[in-house]
A = this chain, B = another copy of it.
Amino acid sequence: MQPKSSPYSLIEGGVCAAAGFLANAVSCGIKDPAKPRLDLALIFSSGPCETAAAFTTNKVKAAPVRLCQAHLRRGDVRAVIVNSGNANACTGPVGMQDAKHMADLTARQLGLRPSQVLVGSTGIIGVPMPMARIAPKIPDLVKGLSRDNPDDASRAIMTSDTRPKSIAIEVPIGNHTIRIGGIAKGAGMISPSMGTMLCYITTDCALSAPLLKSCVSDCVQNSFNRITIDGDTSTNDTVVVMASGCAGNRRITSTGQQYESFRAALEWLMLQLARMIVADGERVTKFVEIQVKGAATHMDARKVAETVANSLLVKCSWNGGDPNWGRVMHAIGYSRARIQEELIEIYFDGHIATRNGIAAGTPIELLRSAVAKPEFCVTIDLNLGEASYTVYTSDLSQEYVDFNRTEYAAPTKAS
C-alpha cells in the first residue's frame, strides 16, 4: 500500500536514502537452516548521529528491548542489528546474554563500543536464539554494508508479512532538502502501544538530540499508536530514528517553522508505514479507518475508536462486507466512554447508517457498497463535544484464525 497521494517527493533508497547511512542483510537460517532467507539486517551511520526510540509498553519485554533501552541511555548509538524468526523474548538470562553477544560481535566488526549498537528481534517467543547460526554471519553482514541494496534490510526483518515495507521522502527545510527513509515490519500482534512491530527510520536532517527525542515520541503517538489489528500488544515493538545531520541544514535546536516541517514529515512517513502494516496484517482483507468525533474528551474519543476497532463481532462483520451498525453501537456502549445513545450517528464512507442512535433508513445497498470496498471509513459522531480521534484497523478473517492456530515449536527442538 503506497500512499495514494503524497505531500512530499517520494524517492528510492529506503533506510539508505538519507546521506550518511549504509545497510546490509544476510541469511542465517534462524527459522529453518534448510530454507535460508534474509533474516539478519544491519543499519549503520558512517559518522556520529543522534538516535531516539520508542518501545513496547508490554511489561514482558524481550531482551533486545531492554538492551536497547540501556544502550540509548549511554548515547552515541551508531548501528542497529535486527533479526527475524526469533523474538528473543521470555528467554531469561540466556536471552540477555545472546542480545549482548549480538551487539558485541557487531561492535567489534565496526570498531565501535558495544553500547553504540542497538539490537532488534522479532519472531517466536520463548525459544533461545540460535546464536551458533547467527554469530558466524556477522562479519559478512558488516563487510557487505553499502547503499546499493536498501530493500534487503526491509526483507530481512519480515516475519508473517507478505511484502516488505519501505518508504523515503525528500523534505524542504529552510533552503535545504533533507531526506527521511524508513522500513517496517508488522503482521500479527498489532495494537495501540504498538504491536510486533519493528520500524527503523534514518534521516540526514541535523537536529538536536532532545528535539529528536520529543519529536519521535510525538509522531509515534499519532501513527503507530493509532493502529490495531488484533488488540494484542507484543513484547518486542521498537521504533528507532537515527539522524546523521549530513543534509547540511542548520542544526535545528528549537521548535519553530523548521522543526515543525521536520516533525510533520516524520509523522507523515510513520503514518504511511503504519498504514502499510495494517493493510498487510495477518490475512487482512479490509483496511478500515475509524474516525470518532463529537466526543466530550480526547480520552472518550480514543476509547470509542479503539473499542470499536477491537470488537471481534464488528471485525467479523467487516470481513463479511456487512454494514452492521448495531454491532458498532453495542461496542460504543461498552467502551466506557461518556455517550448518549440517542445522539449517536454512524456513517460508512459518508453514508449515514445511524441517526439518533437508530437506523437512519439509508438503503442497505448503499451501505453495503461502502463496506464492500477493500478500504473504507467508519465515522462515529457522538454529538457531545469537540474531541476527536482516529485509528486504523482491519477485519478479522477465518484465515487469521487458521494462520494463528499453531506456531509453537518444542523449545527443546527449536534451537
Q: Residues of A with Cβ closer than 8 Å to B?
A: 57-61, 89-92, 94-95, 124-127, 188-189, 191, 193, 230-235, 310-313, 316-317, 319-327, 329-334, 339, 341-342, 354, 356-359, 361, 363-364, 396-402, 404-408, 410-413
Contacts and interface: CB of A to CB of B under 8 A. Distances in A.
Given A341-B59, A341-B60, A326 B412 contact: no
15 contacts: A58-B333, A59-B333, A60-B333, A60-B339, A90-B325, A90-B357, A92-B342, A127-B326, A189-B313, A233-B330, A235-B330, A312-B396, A321-B406, A361-B412, A398-B402
A81 to B, nearest CB: 22
Contacts of A358: 90-92, 94-95, 126
Given A324-B408, A408-B317, A408-B322, A330 B396 contact: no
Given A312-B404, A398-B402, A406-B322, A329 B232 contact: no
A43 B132 CA distance: 70
Given A91-B358, A334-B193, A407 B57 contact: no
Contacts of A411: 359, 361, 364
Determine which residue in A232, A313, A330 has the highest number of CB atoms from chain B within 10 A of its CB, and name it: A330
A70 B234 CA distance: 45
A131 to B, nearest CB: 16
A329 B125 contact: yes
Given A189-B313, A232-B311, 6 more contacts: A127-B359, A189-B330, A313-B404, A359-B411, A364-B413, A398-B402
A169 to B, nearest CB: 32
Contact of A188 (B90, B313, B329, B408): B313
Contact of A316 (B90, B316, B342, B404): B404
Contacts of A317: 404-408
A313 B232 contact: yes
B412 A90 contact: no
Contact of A326 (B89, B313, B339): B89
Contacts of A94: 358
Contacts of A357: 60, 90, 92
A412 B364 contact: yes
A31 to B, nearest CB: 15
A232 B342 contact: no
A333 B235 contact: yes
Contacts of A61: 333, 341
Nearest to A314: B232
Nearest to A327: B125
